[in-house]
């Protein structure tokens, strides 16, 4: 990976026109690409996180719905 970064930086440093074009392309393509990546990531992880949160809530919920529990977790 370091080699790729070094090679790209050498090419861009030696050619100002290319570096300007790459900068403009990154500014134009970058935000929509990041937005789409975030949408894909959310679509993948959201159901898994929701399922996990429901499982945790079900696990920590009182077993007897009629029992009274105060703010400190003590039955009263």
**Can you give the pLDDT at residue 45?**
97
How far apart are alpha carbons 72 and 22 in whole angstroms? 59
User: What tokens appear for 7 in the block?
Assistant: 């090679």
**Can you give the pLDDT at residue 39?**
97
**Can you give the pLDDT at residue 63?**
80
Segment 22-73, tens digit of pLDDT: 888 888 998 999 999 999 999 999 999 999 999 999 999 888 766 666 556 5
pTM of the model: 0.52
């Amino acid at each position: 990976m370091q080699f790729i970064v070094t090679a790209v930086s050498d090419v861009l440093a030696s050619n100002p026109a290319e570096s300007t074009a790459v900068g403009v392309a990154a500014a134009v393509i970058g935000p929509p690409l990041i937005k789409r990546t975030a949408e894909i990531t959310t679509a993948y992880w959201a159901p898994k996180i929701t399922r996990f949160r429901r499982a945790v809530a079900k696990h920590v919920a009182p077993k007897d719905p009629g029992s009274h529990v105060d703010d400190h977790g003590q039955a009263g």
